[in-house]
Amino acid sequence: MEYRIVKMEACHLEEVHNAELECFPEEAWSFKDFDDLLKIDAVKGYILVDSEKNGEIVAYMMAYEVVDEAELINIAVLPKHRRKKLGNYFLNSWLKHLQEIETVAVFLDVRESNTPAIGFYKSFGFELLGIRRNYYSDGEDALVMKLDLESTE
């Protein structure tokens, strides 16, 4: 198996949106949500593709990279590819890139019921910073998590 990380471009959005429908069937973002986000300068998108399967998308993520801070907007691994350390490889590669551009802190929000994602983020050292009450449209709280990054120099 050979995987590659590719910068997300407008031409990838249809496939990314199909992946989103599979990963978040109940609350998928629209194609326009992705399109609007990707047009923001500070927003970077990345996809993890399987080189052996014609560049099929295995995972995707979007994030704000602003001066020395970053915010992970979303990350998802397609259901059939989970628990194979691909999310770990993908997020780890992004964190290394952030260290290279001298980012000092990474923030994210996660549903308090999303045990897999919380376990995933904790495995990188993300810590609970606070709780945003009623953050999601269904009233669920969000956990705000933070990771301090050390410079690679």
Ligand X SMILES: CC(C)(COP(=O)(O)OP(=O)(O)OC[C@H]1O[C@@H](n2cnc3c(N)ncnc32)[C@H](O)[C@@H]1OP(=O)(O)O)[C@@H](O)C(=O)NCCC(=O)NCCS
Which residues sit at the interface with ligand X, rule CB under 6 A?
A: 23, 74-77, 82-88, 110, 114-117, 119-120, 123
Nearest distance, CB of residue 56 and ligand X, angstroms? 15
Nearest residue (CB) to ligand X, 102 versus 127: 127
Question: H or E element: which one contains 16?
Answer: helix 13-23
Beta strands in the chain (DSSP E): 3-7, 43-50, 56-66, 69-77, 105-111, 127-132, 142-148
Which CB sits closer to ligand X, 28 or 104? 28
Q: How far is the CB of 122 from ligand X (least distance, A)?
A: 7
Q: Compare residues 122 and 153 and give the one whose CB is closer to ligand X.
A: 122
Query: What is the rounded distance in angstroms from the CA atom of residue 44 to the CA atom of residue 8?
Result: 7
Query: Closest approach of Cβ 153 to ligand X, in Å?
Result: 27
Q: In whole angstroms, how close is the CB of 29 to ligand X at the nearest point?
A: 10
Pick 69 or 109: Cβ nearer ligand X: 109
Quickly count: other Cβ atoms within 10 Å of residue 141's Cβ: 15
> DSSP alpha helices (H): ranges in 24-123?
31-38, 86-100, 115-122
